[in-house]
Amino acid sequence: MKQKVLVLANFEIFFIRDDTDIIRSFAPTEFYNTTEQGLISFRLLREIFSCSHIYIWFASAHSLFPALLSRMFGKKVIVVSGGYDTARVGEINYGHAGNGLKGIVSKLVLKFAQKVIVNSKHSEKEMLNFYPGAKKKLAVIPHRIKHREPSVKPERDPKLFITVIRMNKMNYYRKKVSLLKEIAKRMPEFNFRHIGLVLPEIEQEFNNNRPDNFISVGHQDEEQLWEWYYKASLLLAPSWHEGFGLTTVEALAGGCISVISGAGAQDEVTLGEAVIIESDDPDEWVKTLKNFSINASEREQKRKKILDFYKESNRVEQLKKVFEETGLAVN
């Protein structure tokens, strides 16, 4: 059997594209999007039959049939578990662990896997609470930070605060956007910018009672996003739950200080370099934000600490190891 990897996901986003590029650097690789190309299709069957390994993003309904079929035909199954797969946040009905049927489906996908990858120690703990059977096949591999320093660094704006969210209905509540709007209302002299798509399903609610100083700039490409990280003073992330929280790490890598709720893996992945506000009271946030002070040298120290820890080569080498352990001859 020719060694080839099929990467399968139910949507395409930068960190999934990044993993696909990494795998493609050491093995022939195809990508399959179940939302665009179908949960079951002739092409999916053909790709499963012709691959030696299937690399699945998220243990969910879209991955049950591919994982089952792959195991039936002797393929190696590697599952990357996202924070939603093992989370249980009842207040917002977030996570498969608190949802009977979805939880059963997730556990079946994880059972079919020879290797399960999580992105943080926090997610590892949630995984073992949710599905103890994953213990012997777990690998903790943090996301890769693709640092892109602008060729011309913008001047840091002390009154510019950003948040980076792909805003669908679930993320609107999970990322506490209503709290962000209340904070912005109380700080009219500051500029709040949302970066990312606002999906039609939540656009009206996002715009309801949104203060004039809180504006969405829409989707930004990679280069533009890093310009925001180098320009803004703070990134605000008052989340209910984060299995990793990639943007909080990226922001620090650009010298933009992350202000977090401390939920989930946030404090872990930011290496203790973020500001933590464990409150849903907008007045508490306003008080901390207005009193916050940091000099350029301190920003640079935090930036270097993040970049030293999240070397771009780390995830490459760790993914290679996972594939080698499942029998792939890595180039």
Whether residue 125 is found in the same domain as residue 189: no
Better-predicted residue by pLDDT, 93 or 166: 166
Q: How far apart are CA 23 and CA 127, in angstroms?
A: 24
Q: Is residue 152 part of a domain?
A: no
Amino acid symbol at 276: I
| Percent above pLDDT 70 for the chain | 99
- Decide: 264 and 243 in contact? Cβ < 8 Å: yes
Which residue is associated with the tokens 């202000």? 259
- pLDDT above 90 (res 287): yes
Whether residue 263 is found in the same domain as residue 285: yes
Whether residue 228 is found in the same domain as residue 320: no
- pLDDT above 70 (res 267): yes
Bridge-based pairing of strands 115-118 and 232-237 is: unpaired
The pLDDT tens digits of the residues spanning 120-143 come to 999 999 999 999 999 999 999 999
What pLDDT is attached to residue 330? 87
What is the pLDDT confidence band of residue 1, given thresholds at 50, 70 and 90?
low
For residue 147, give Cα distances in angstroms to 208, 236, 304.
35, 19, 11
Per 3-state DSSP, the chain is made up of helix, strand and coil in percentages (nearest 5) of 50, 20, 35
Whether residue 130 is found in the same domain as residue 12: yes
DSSP annotation of 194: E
Whether residue 140 is found in the same domain as residue 214: no
Strand order in 214-218's β-sheet? 214-218, 191-195, 157-164, 232-237, 257-260, 275-276
The number of folded domains in the chain is 2
Whether residue 319 is found in the same domain as residue 292: no
Nearest residue to 147 (alpha-carbon basis) of 270, 229, 78: 229
- pLDDT above 90 (res 80): yes
What is the pLDDT confidence band of residue 94, given thresholds at 50, 70 and 90?
confident
What is the pLDDT confidence band of residue 312, given thresholds at 50, 70 and 90?
confident
What is the pLDDT confidence band of residue 101, given thresholds at 50, 70 and 90?
confident
- pLDDT above 80 (res 331): no
Average pLDDT over residues 41-61: 96
What pLDDT is attached to residue 96? 81
Whether residue 167 is found in the same domain as residue 286: yes
- pLDDT above 90 (res 87): no
Whether residue 103 is found in the same domain as residue 181: no
What pLDDT is attached to residue 99? 72
Report the alpha-carbon angle 249-253-258, nearest 5.
50
The pLDDT tens digits of the residues spanning 189-215 come to 999 999 999 999 999 999 999 999 999
Give the CA count within 13 Å in the CB-facing half-sphere of 234: 24
- pLDDT above 90 (res 89): no
In terms of C-beta density within 10 A (0-12 exposed, 13-18 middle, 19 or more buried), how is residue 166 classed? Answer: middle
Average pLDDT over residues 298-320: 95
- pLDDT above 80 (res 98): no
Q: Which domain holds residue 43?
A: 5-144+312-325
Whether residue 127 is found in the same domain as residue 231: no
- Decide: 55 and 80 in contact? Cβ < 8 Å: yes
What pLDDT is attached to residue 23? 97
Q: Is residue 106 part of a domain?
A: yes
pLDDT mean across residues, the chain: 95
Whether residue 264 is found in the same domain as residue 140: no
Q: Give the CATH number for residue 274.
A: 3.40.50.2000
- Decide: 70 and 77 in contact? Cβ < 8 Å: yes
Q: Is residue 110 part of a domain?
A: yes
- Decide: 295 and 303 in contact? Cβ < 8 Å: no
Q: Is residue 330 part of a domain?
A: no
Q: Is residue 254 part of a domain?
A: yes
User: Which residue pairs, CB below 8 angstroms and at least 24 apart, start in 129-134?
Assistant: 129/86, 129/97, 130/85, 130/86, 130/88, 130/96, 130/97, 130/103, 130/106, 131/86, 131/106, 131/107, 133/107, 134/110
Model pTM above 0.95: no
Mark residue 11 as left, alpha or beta (left: phi above 0; alpha: psi -120 to 50; beta: remaining): beta
Q: Kindly give the interhelix angle for 246-253 and 296-309, rounded to the nearest 10 degrees.
A: 130
Whether residue 77 is found in the same domain as residue 162: no
Q: Is residue 140 part of a domain?
A: yes
What is the pLDDT confidence band of residue 90, given thresholds at 50, 70 and 90?
confident
Contacts of 204 (CB under 8 A, 6+ apart): none
Whether residue 126 is found in the same domain as residue 161: no
Q: Is residue 321 part of a domain?
A: yes
Q: What is the largest CA-CA distance in the chain?
A: 64
For residue 183, give Cα distances in angstroms to 193, 281, 292, 322.
12, 9, 15, 44
Q: Is residue 133 part of a domain?
A: yes
